[in-house]
Chain A
Amino acid sequence: MFDWRWEFVGDILPRLIKATGNTILAALLGYGIAVVLGLILALAQRTHFPLLNRSVREFVEFIRSTPLVLQIFFVFYVGPQFGIMLSPWTAGMIAIGLHYASYLSEVYRAGIDSVPRGQWEAATSLSLSPVRTYSRIIIPQAIPTAFAGMGNYLVGIFKDTPMLSVIGVAELMHTANAIGSEHYRFLEPYTLVGLIFLLISLPTAGALRRAEAKIREKMGLRQI
């Protein structure tokens, strides 16, 4: 029956906190990869080469339509099948980075598309070059729209790190499982893991909402 043991909590908490560090590291690293890779994927769909645009588009759709946990397995196991050995961390980062890059590329695209057509026309009428048009006019206006999506995925990637446990990455879930099997007690480890996630994701989500409002204000844009 239900019987919460506080001293057990005391025993395992240090280990869980350490694992949290790994979780946060994995999330930030994966997100960093996704932010950069996502931009490349987004721009690769706007080139003048229809074949490239379509291929990248289909690839992005494929990644977005299939489970991350399966992609993690794929990256981890397919390497060795062809002679490339990947550590759990590396495989995990590649899989999660690629997965979230696909999501972010859609966010970037939506951001760029949200800039009114009149802005493009004004830039054209002032003879601004494409590079200047993107960098000075379009992307600055795309950012506030994209920011909300980007923030959601930051929180999302953090919550998806437990999937890395399946290939042995020593993050929070993996550690909780280990503790659970060692002591035959799952109540405290899993509950604590849940609480830790809440304690990190909720304030982060709140901070991101406030940051978004500030960016809009600073850029003189309407508040949503």
Chain B
Amino acid sequence: MTYVEFLKQYGPQLVDGSVTTAMQTVLAAVLAIVIAIVAGLMRLSHNRLVYGTATVYIEIFRGTSLLVQLYWIFFVLPLFGLSLEKFTAGYIAVGMNLGAYGAELVRGGILSVPKGQWEAATALSMSPAKRMIRIIFPQAFLNMLPPWGNLLIELLKGTALVALISVADLMFIARKINGTTYLSAQAFGTALIIYYLMSRGFVTPFMRWLEVVMTRKLGKA
């Protein structure tokens, strides 16, 4: 069959898979961002226990493969009493993994805010919480955006692995189609193109837009 026919017949399935991928990505991203902020802030603490806990978490999740973590969460956690549905296991693994990388970006972003900002806020008698929320973090946020853009794309790519625990995402569907039709170039090729469109067509422009908005809000434009 021609490629157009292929798309007509299998398009709907691929779209379904893409929607699942998108959902996995969004959920994992939210989790990753929360973990990154918490762990990043913990890594800035002077309290050794707090700093140490975050460090251990980060080193473990950055030092092992996402795939290994995924399998561990899905197959091994049940033995500890925590049984997760495959869809949930999927985005939790991806979120926890990329949250570890994100923690370093958050820490780096906060450290890149000039010391004078901290001093000025303190001189105005701001509490540490207010200082962080109103002064430091907004500036850190802008600095962090470019590497976070890359991270989100890694996250999107990472969700492809959930197909290996049978979550019906884009990659799973592509494999399924390949298994029944043996039209590998069409099946996998189309999936590649869709991932590409999602990264460069959605994530990258979105991050750029966010950068523009934040720059304006910070009065830097």
Binding site for B on A (CB under 8 A): 1-3, 61-62, 64-71, 73-74, 77-78, 80-82, 159-163, 165-166, 173, 176-177, 180, 186-187, 190-191, 193-194, 197-198, 201-202, 205
Contact = CB atoms under 8 A, between A and B. Distances in A.
B64 A197 contact: yes
A68 B88 CA distance: 22
B188 A201 contact: no
Contacts of A70: 160, 171, 174, 188, 191-192, 195
Specify the main secondary structure of chain B where it touches its partner. Answer: helix
18 contacts: A66-B196, A67-B160, A69-B161, A69-B164, A70-B160, A71-B192, A73-B184, A74-B188, A77-B182, A81-B183, A163-B161, A180-B75, A186-B71, A186-B75, A191-B72, A194-B68, A197-B63, A198-B59
A166 B164 contact: yes
Interface of B: 59-60, 63-69, 71-72, 75-76, 79-81, 153, 157-158, 160-161, 163-164, 171, 174-175, 178, 182-185, 188-189, 191-192, 195-196, 199-200
A62 B79 CA distance: 40
A194 B67 contact: no
A67 B64 contact: no
Contacts of A80: 184
Given A67-B171, A190-B75, A73 B188 contact: yes
Contacts of A67: 157-158, 160-161, 171, 195
B64 A190 contact: no
A65 B153 contact: yes
A187 B79 contact: yes
A165 B68 CA distance: 11
Contacts of A173: 65, 67-68, 71
Contact of B79 (A2, A81, A176, A194): A2
A71 B76 CA distance: 28
A180 B76 CA distance: 11
Q: Top 5 nearest A-B pairs by Cβ distance?
A: A77-B184, A67-B160, A65-B199, A74-B188, A67-B157
Contacts of B191: 70
